[in-house]
Amino acid sequence: MKPYNLEDRTFEFARDCRFLILKLQKTIANIEDGKQLIRSSGSVGANYIEANEKLGEKDFKFRVRISRKEAKESFYWLSLLKVMNVQHQVEIDQLILEANELRKILSTIINKS
């Protein structure tokens, strides 16, 4: 069951991405792509939290757009990791699905604000 609170959900996404990285073989590609995934997945939630502490409507939209951009970037890094780590394909597919769902949620927030 996914949390209803988006701050909690983005936290769990970043946490699960980190758990995935710990399981991957330590190749140069996994290390470098993993670093990028750690940054982007953490940034989804961090920017959403900043959006909730908005200074105004423009600031809110700006931060949510950054959060959405980071969700898209996380999708990208997960897709690369999936190609190189077929033994973790199911887990990576779940994270790809979550990155895409977060992107859609954030897009809806942007469109309705």
Domain 6-112 sits in CATH at 1.20.1440.60
| pLDDT score of 4 | 77
> CB of 17 within 8 A of CB of 95?
yes
| pLDDT score of 29 | 96
> Residue 79: which H helix or E strand, with range?
helix 57-84
| pLDDT score of 70 | 98
pLDDT in tens, the chain (113 residues): 666 799 999 999 999 999 999 999 999 999 999 999 999 999 999 999 999 987 889 999 999 999 999 999 999 999 999 999 999 999 999 999 999 999 999 999 999 98
| pLDDT score of 43 | 98
- The token pair that represents 54 in the structure block: 């908005």
Dihedral of CA atoms 32, 34, 40, 42 in degrees, nearest 10, equals -130
Burial 34-63 (b: 16+ CB within 10 A, else e): beebbebbbbbbbbbebbeeeeeeeebebb
